[in-house]
Structure 1
């Protein structure tokens, strides 16, 4: 096992594009850290720099306390699992698992022992003599994981390994990867654009945007205390609702969408003074059809569509020019187009500065 340290790492391409801006963080020994963000945010570039597949423009990258900026990939003691599996189609599963070990001239008995251990761990025993074309997508991904596993590296790198799988298989493989991490205790760095994967897998999450780190924290800390509007809107499904405007001294929020009664202004996040321009955020699950004993804040919106999911419903609403989503238990509702009153606790509001979009602490 090993820690991985980025010390003010930049990546600039020859055309002037800066893919990574001053990345400065550490992955702890044995940690499962997730890099998440939209396409083009720099997460795969960071992973490829760890693997040695991308050069570093400036700054230092250390693995297990050793600076590896100029160290060849094969000497970094890492193993990488790719999005497209990258299996050899003419080889059996056993041969795919053994290939990297044979290149290192490992004794045959040791190779067989490692294959047997990884195969049992990943449920591949019955597939060892099959070729990749005879396997399902989930089985191929398990082989790709096994090929990394048999090397017993200091660091596992996983680059969107589940993006080619269907929803059910993604859930199964997320569980498999989490179990593997608990069993092995090896340092893992996982790249994804899927915030659900990030929230369910990561012990910590690095949220990236345009090559810059927006926030690093545990999943629930990011969800409950996002550093800015981007993080707040990126993590959570459905996404957080946002309204821009000013808070009046009378506890009324004047926005482009209209006036919203907030109730007790003193219960708003600290630092939100009357008259200040801000963005208010509210999670869909905090908009409710019934008022609680301490809830006086309300929103009157127009019901557009209902998405019934069995144990809950998503209500798609319109408030002026703003679209809102509420996540509520099953209930009898008026027809789409009808006015609907929803309630929320002002203490659940997230407040962001309108100009900088950073959280008001």
Structure 2
């Protein structure tokens, strides 16, 4: 096992495109770190630099305390799992698992031990004689995991390993990866564009956008205290509601957001700094922090549609020209096209500077 350290790591392609802007962060020994962001944000480039598949333009990358900028991929003690499995179609499962070990000159007894251990851990024991074409997508992905596992590397690299699986298989293989990490305690770097994978797998998450690190923290810290509007909007499904306007004092210590054109949203008594009054801000409201009802932080909205999804409902609303989403338990509500009273949870509001998009904190 080993820690991984990025110190000002930068990637610039020959055409001048900057894929990664000076990334600096540490991944602890035994940690499962997820790199997440939209397509083209630089997450796979970071992973490929760890693997040695992309040259580093500037900065240093260390694995286990050793700078590996100029170390060949085969000498970095890493193993990589790709989204397309990359299995040899003419080889059985056992042969696929053993192939890399044979290339590295391990003896037959050691190869057999490692292959059997991986097969037992991943539930592949009865499939060792099968060819990949006779297996499901989930089974093939387990073989790809097993091929990395037999290497017994210091660092596992997983590049969108579940993107080719359907929703049910993604859930089951995601669970297997989490269990595998708990059993092995090996350092893992996991790349995905899927925020659900990031939130459920990562001990910590690196959120990237346009090659720049936006925030690094635990899943719930990112969800509850996003550092900026990008993180706030990227993590959470449905996405956070955002409303732009000026903060105004109402009455009895209450506040409201003046969005112009006669549109105002009551905010109740949230925690905020006095100097925010009159300032243009963006107020973020998670869908679960809008609830049907009245009170001092309530307003009227129009129901546009209701989406039942089993144990909860997503209610698509409109307040003036502004769309909102409310997440509620299954319940009787007015029909689409009718009005409804909507109450804000003041203590759960998020405030961001309208110009910079950065989070505002009382007393900061």
Instruction: Classify the TM-score, shorter chain.
Output: over 0.9
Cα separation, 1, equivalents of 2:17 and 2:339: 49
Closer, same or farther: CA 245–85 of 1 in aligned 2, 3 Å: same
Cα separation, 2, equivalents of 1:262 and 1:283: 14
CA-to-aligned-CA distance 1:250-309 (integer Å, 9 cap, x gap): 222111471112223xx2334662111000000001111135xxx621132110000012
Structure 1 runs (4+) greater than 6 angstroms displaced: none
Deviation at 1:330, TM superposition (A): 1.2
SS in 2 for 1:288: strand
- Corresponding residue for residue 21 of structure 1: 21
Cα separation, 2, equivalents of 1:97 and 1:282: 48
CA-to-aligned-CA distance 1:329-350 (integer Å, 9 cap, x gap): 1111222111111112211110
Closer, same or farther: CA 270–184 of 1 in aligned 2, 3 Å: farther
- Corresponding residue for residue 34 of structure 1: 34
Alignment of 1:104 with 2:104, yes or no, is yes
Unaligned runs of 5+ in 1: none
SS in 1 for 2:291: coil
In the alignment of these two chains, the number of paired residues is 356
Matches within 5 A, 1:97-176: 97-176=97-176
SS in 2 for 1:19: strand
TM-score, reference length from structure 2: 0.96
Cα separation, 2, equivalents of 1:152 and 1:321: 56
Alignment of 1:280 with 2:297, yes or no, is no
- Corresponding residue for residue 87 of structure 1: 87
Q: CA RMSD in A?
A: 1.1
CA-to-aligned-CA distance 1:109-145 (integer Å, 9 cap, x gap): 0000000000000000111001000000000000000
TM-score, reference length from structure 1: 0.97
CA-to-aligned-CA distance 1:24-53 (integer Å, 9 cap, x gap): 001000000000000000000000000000
- Corresponding residue for residue 254 of structure 1: 258
8 Å CA contact 1:296, 1:345 repeated in 2: no
Unaligned runs of 5+ in 2: none
SS in 1 for 2:299: strand
